[in-house]
């Protein structure tokens, strides 16, 4: 697989090779967010600190003319030359959800419009995403948590494509890529999964803190989780509380959890029978089918297992890629600490 076609652009204009030779970039794509972490190493001395590697500089990974990752420089280690990038969605964690007059708003399209303007100048497009968060809370929220809360209300995921367009969509139900028989075996777990959600909410009709319980369809073994709907949402109706819990059950909580990622050679993952082009594989609204892994769907036994992708990790020029399903339980020390 040719490495020459993959390159890094900094500041929206300058190829990183104009600063110094560098290692092939490694990047992640995410089901929630779009672009994860990315990194590469510049081959220059510690005295070298160009302005384009300063934290906050726009950073993109390109395959030919196609953008596959977009974000900003998060860290630059002058000793090692390592540049670490963060996805563009993380900008929204430090942009408050405000209207044009500077007041807090829970109207998502209004908050995004303000975020697009100076001084924030978020380099994204709203792409038609709109809605008002449920509940009567009025305290300020950051824009990205607002967008995620809107997605949660409908059991969807929010992400940006590499060109900065925002999407809020339900998980796919049909696979895009097929994994060769016995090349992948995703282990299943009930950790982090629930078939019943016990919601605590402030009833707007009574002014009292109340509890409502929602049960997933087809529950076999009852597993409950408590969800606090008061903290960020304020008062709401019983119907609104139930709709949020039902969406969570349908989206992830009552589905299968996983315990492992898999690393695949490019010959082991195909699309329509053709070996996949690894730089183009991503986790934004994508599902894979693992052949030769039996799974039960109701009363039907199938010889495959479908899993929605949660994260991909790829290094330019390599013949392998790592795929991780959504709702993978933390197993390494790093993942456990991140989840705590």
Our CA dihedral for 275, 295, 171, 320, rounded to 10 degrees, sits at -30
pLDDT average, residue stretch 75-100: 96
- What sign does the CA torsion over 81, 41, 75, 59 have? positive
Residue pair 310/30 in contact by the 8 Å Cβ criterion: yes
pLDDT at residue 339 tops 50: no
| 186: pLDDT strictly greater than 60 | yes
Q: Is the model's pLDDT at 333 over the cut of 80? A: no
Let me know whether 182 and 300 are in one domain: yes
For the chain, how far is it from start to end, CA to CA, in angstroms?
A: 39
238 plus 263 within the same structural domain: no
Report if residue 204 sits inside a domain.
yes
Contact 320, 263 (CB under 8 A): yes
Which of left, alpha, beta for 298 (phi over 0: left; psi -120 to 50: alpha)?
A: left
Q: Both 83 and 99 in a single domain? A: no
Contact 95, 147 (CB under 8 A): no
User: How many domains would you assign to the chain?
Assistant: 4
Q: Which of 305, 310, 336 is nearest to 323 (CA)?
A: 310
C-alpha span between 12 and 59 (Å, rounded): 7
pLDDT for residue 291: 85
Write the CATH number for 159: 3.55.50
Residue 98's closest CA among 80, 111, 83? 111
CA dist 317 and 23 (Å) reads 11
pLDDT tens for residues 188-219?
Answer: 655 667 888 999 999 999 999 999 999 887 77
- Flag whether 146 is in a domain: yes
- Can you tell me the mean pLDDT for 56-82? 95
CA distance 170 to 308: 11
289 and 324 share one domain: yes
pLDDT, tens digit, 9 for 90 and up, residues 11-49: 999 999 999 999 999 999 999 999 999 999 998 776 777
Same domain? 250 vs 262: no
Listing DSSP states for 173-205 in one string gives: SS-SEEEPTTS--PPEE-TT--SEEEEEEEETT
More reliable by pLDDT, 232 or 26: 26
Domain identity same for 52 and 124: no
Residue 1 in any domain: the answer is: no
Do 79 and 129 belong to one domain? Answer: no
Query: At residue 255, does pLDDT exceed 70?
Result: no
The pTM of the full predicted model, rounded to 2 decimals, is 0.85
| Together in a domain, 263 and 279 | yes
Quickly count: other Cβ atoms within 10 Å of residue 21's Cβ.
Answer: 11
Same domain, 67 and 120: no
Q: Which domain holds residue 120?
A: 95-169
Tell me what percent of the residues of the chain surpass a pLDDT of 90. 68
């Amino acid at each position: 697989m040719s490495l020459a076609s993959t390159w890094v652009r900094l500041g929206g204009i300058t190829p990183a090779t104009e600063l110094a030779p560098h290692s092939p970039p490694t990047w992640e794509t995410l089901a929630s967010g779009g672009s994860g972490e990315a990194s590469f190493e510049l081959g220059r001395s510690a005295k070298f600190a160009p302005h384009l590697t300063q934290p906050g500089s726009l950073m993109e990974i390109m395959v030919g003319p196609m953008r596959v990752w977009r974000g900003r420089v998060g860290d630059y280690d002058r000793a090692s030359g390592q540049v670490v990038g963060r996805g563009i969605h993380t900008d929204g964690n430090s942009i408050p959800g405000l209207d044009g007059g500077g007041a807090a708003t829970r109207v998502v399209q209004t908050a995004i419009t303000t975020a697009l303007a100076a001084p924030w100048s978020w380099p994204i497009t709203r792409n038609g995403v709109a809605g008002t968060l449920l509940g009567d809370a009025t305290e300020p929220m950051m824009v990205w948590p607002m967008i995620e809360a809107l997605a949660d209300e409908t059991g969807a995921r929010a992400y940006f494509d590499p060109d900065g367009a925002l999407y809020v969509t339900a998980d796919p139900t049909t696979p895009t890529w097929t994994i060769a028989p016995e090349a992948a075996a995703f282990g299943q777990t009930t950790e982090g999964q629930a078939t019943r959600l016990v919601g605590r909410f402030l009833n707007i009709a009574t002014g009292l803190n109340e509890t409502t319980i929602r049960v997933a369809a087809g529950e076999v073994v009852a597993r409950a989780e408590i969800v606090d709907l008061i903290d960020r949402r304020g008062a709401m109706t019983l119907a609104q509380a139930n709709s949020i819990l039902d969406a969570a059950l349908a989206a992830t909580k009552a589905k299968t959890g996983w315990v492992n990622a898999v690393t695949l050679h490019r010959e082991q993952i195909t699309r329509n029978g053709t070996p996949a082009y690894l730089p183009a594989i991503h986790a934004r609204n994508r599902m894979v089918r693992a052949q030769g892994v039996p799974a039960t769907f109701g009363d039907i036994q199938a010889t495959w297992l479908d899993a929605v992708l949660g994260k991909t990790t790829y290094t330019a020029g390599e013949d392998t890629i790592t795929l991780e399903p959504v709702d993978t339980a933390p197993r390494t020390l790093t993942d456990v600490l991140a989840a705590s």
